């Protein structure tokens, strides 16, 4: 069945947008991600935070706002400084490369030109008002920036996509899932004393072919 005109126009607007905005609802305990600076834009992604103590459940679930299907999940660990993701049923590990510095890597098929996954790297810069998480490709070129607003209450972050490859639906899904998982992982690390011990006793993963780590 064809989409109604307003839905088709909205999807076209979203596909052309290079920046998404993440809005947190304290009442619903959800994040709505939509096109930035477009008051008519409807959410593209909805992120839920299921609370299931004593269950091996994901810490966050990213769903498509269009059909409520699960795009991916993110799982944080109370001690380990690594994090786990699942993207369209495929496992992705966010592995720390440094103990006390935001430097992570994961393997990506969305940004690969072959059937083999390629390494992607996350690093960060922080200031008084923003905390930027930069995603770099295997050539150390930036493909996305997750800019978290340090003092924000509702409009918590912007997600900017850089380069043509990052504009594909597959790449966007990957950036949103891994980016929000890393952001939540770092928030946990900053507020959880167990993560400090996890960092001290961790064995950072190094990519011998990459320049980071």
DSSP string for 4-28: PHHHHHHHHHHHH-SEEEEEEETTT
- The answer as to whether 192 is a domain residue is yes
Q: pLDDT averaged over the chain?
A: 83
- The answer as to whether 151 is a domain residue is yes
Residue of 163 and 40 predicted with greater confidence = 163
Summarised one tens digit per residue, pLDDT across range 105-143 is 999 999 999 989 999 999 999 888 899 999 999 999 999
- The answer as to whether 3 is a domain residue is no
| CA 34 and chain centroid, separation | 14
User: Residue 7, Cβ neighbours under 10 Å: how many?
Assistant: 12
- The answer as to whether 85 is a domain residue is yes
Q: Would strands 103-108 and 30-35 be described as parallel, antiparallel, or unpaired? A: unpaired
Q: Is the pLDDT of residue 75 over 60?
A: yes
Work out the angle between the directed axes of helices 169-191 and 193-200 (0-180°, nearest 10): 100
How many domains is the chain partitioned into structurally? 1
- The answer as to whether 16 is a domain residue is no
pTM equals 0.83
Structural domain of 45: 23-200
User: Mean of the pLDDT values across residues 29-51?
Assistant: 89
- The answer as to whether 172 is a domain residue is yes
Q: Is the pLDDT of residue 203 over 80?
A: no
How many Cα atoms are found within 13 Å in the side-chain-facing hemisphere of 154?
5
SS3 of 58, please?
coil
Residues β-bridged to residue 83: 94
- The answer as to whether 109 is a domain residue is yes
- The answer as to whether 86 is a domain residue is yes
pLDDT, position 121? 96
């Amino acid at each position: 069945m064809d989409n109604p005109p307003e839905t088709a126009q909205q999807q076209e607007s979203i596909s052309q947008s290079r920046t998404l905005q993440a809005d947190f609802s304290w009442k619903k305990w959800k994040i709505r991600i939509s096109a930035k600076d477009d008051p008519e834009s409807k959410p593209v992604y909805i992120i839920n935070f299921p609370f299931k103590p004593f269950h091996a459940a994901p810490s966050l679930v990213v769903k498509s706002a269009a059909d409520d299907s699960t795009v991916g999940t993110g799982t944080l660990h109370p001690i380990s400084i690594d994090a786990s993701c699942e993207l369209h049923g495929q496992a992705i590990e966010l592995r720390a490369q440094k103990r006390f510095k935001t430097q992570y890597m994961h393997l990506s098929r969305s940004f690969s030109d072959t059937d083999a996954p390629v390494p992607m790297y996350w690093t960060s810069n922080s200031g008084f008002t923003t905390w930027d998480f930069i995603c770099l490709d295997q050539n150390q070129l930036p493909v996305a920036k997750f800019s978290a607003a340090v003092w924000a209450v509702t409009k918590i972050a912007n997600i900017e996509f850089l380069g043509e490859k990052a504009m594909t639906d597959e790449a966007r899904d990957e950036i949103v899932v891994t980016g929000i998982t890393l952001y939540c992982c770092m928030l946990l690390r900053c507020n959880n004393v167990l993560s400090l011990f996890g960092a001290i006793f961790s064995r950072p993963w190094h990519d011998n072919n990459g320049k980071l780590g």
